[in-house]
Amino acid sequence: MLRTMAQSKFPISPEKLIAMAKEILGSEFGTKQGAKADCLAEDFQFVAPIIGPLGKEEFMKAFGSFKIKEAVPDLADNSWFQVDPLEPNRVWFFARATGTHTGTLNFARPIPPTNKRIEAPPQAQSMLFNEQGQCYTLTVGYCMDKRIGNTEGLGGVFGILKAFGHGLPFPEGQRLYTPSLRFEAFERVAKFAEALGFGPNARPSPRE
């Protein structure tokens, strides 16, 4: 890893990149009052497991309208950071967000306070930077362990809504993974085959 980073020709140091990523998070991606929107490049893209890619204008309009910090004043992302040794212009940050819904959350309609807590699962997220120090890609919401927290493995805004009892009315907004009927049928057939002695997990027949 050290050799890979040492060979990097990207002009911004890992330490500086991490500091810039933290600044962007603190500015709420340029939507916070008084923050500069030029922290995001004009060719910026937002990419989540289900949503995106979204362009800069669309993302800033949507994110700014949620008023997440007003809805969850004690929201803490509890993030830690690492520069990718193979992509030295990418900062990975891993978050385990916590907070309490004590304000109005705007998502299609105002959602009044529920006083419910969110305990999100650990999520892998990243920012890609250009040589001018602007973020041109943001990836968020990739759950690393769906067993943790109270969002059914959902990350991002989907996870917040789920924790507050307002999960979106489609499978992707209810839990991280909803097995299809075909997959469930496949699992049943596989278990039946194992019971008959077929498959990698089948027990060998006892010797007579």
Tell me the C-alpha distance between 93 and 25, whole Å.
11
Q: Residues 171, 183: one domain?
A: no
Please report, for the domain that includes residue 147, its CATH number. Answer: 3.10.450.50
Q: Residues 33, 114: one domain?
A: yes
pTM for this predicted structure: 0.77
Contact in structure between 90 and 61 (CB atoms under 8 Å): no
Q: Residues 11, 66: one domain?
A: yes
Residue 84: what pLDDT?
A: 96
Q: Alpha helices of 67-155 — where are they, by DSSP H? A: 68-71
Q: Residues 159, 85: one domain?
A: yes
Q: Residues 143, 200: one domain?
A: no
Looking only at the bridges linking them, the beta strands covering 105-107 and 40-47 are unpaired
Please state whether the peptide bond connecting residue 169 to the residue before it is cis, i.e. omega within 30 degrees of 0.
Answer: no
Residue 62: what pLDDT?
A: 85
DSSP state of 37: G
Domain membership of residue 202 as a residue range: 178-208
Q: Residues 126, 208: one domain?
A: no
Q: Residues 84, 183: one domain?
A: no
Tell me the C-alpha distance between 50 and 52, whole Å.
7
Q: Residues 123, 196: one domain?
A: no
Q: Write out residues in the chain with pLDDT < 50, as ranges.
A: 208
Contact in structure between 156 and 167 (CB atoms under 8 Å): no
As for how many domains the chain has, the answer is 2
Torsion of CA 22, 24, 25, 26, to 10 degrees: 90
> How many other CB atoms sit within 10 Å of the CB of residue 186?
12
Tell me the C-alpha distance between 143 and 125, whole Å.
9
Contact in structure between 175 and 152 (CB atoms under 8 Å): yes
Q: Residues 65, 101: one domain?
A: yes
Q: Residues 183, 120: one domain?
A: no
Q: Residues 195, 127: one domain?
A: no
Helix (H, G, I), strand (E, B) or coil at 122: coil
Residue 8: what pLDDT?
A: 81
End-to-end alpha carbon distance in the chain:
55
Q: Residues 84, 131: one domain?
A: yes
Looking only at the bridges linking them, the beta strands covering 40-47 and 135-143 are parallel
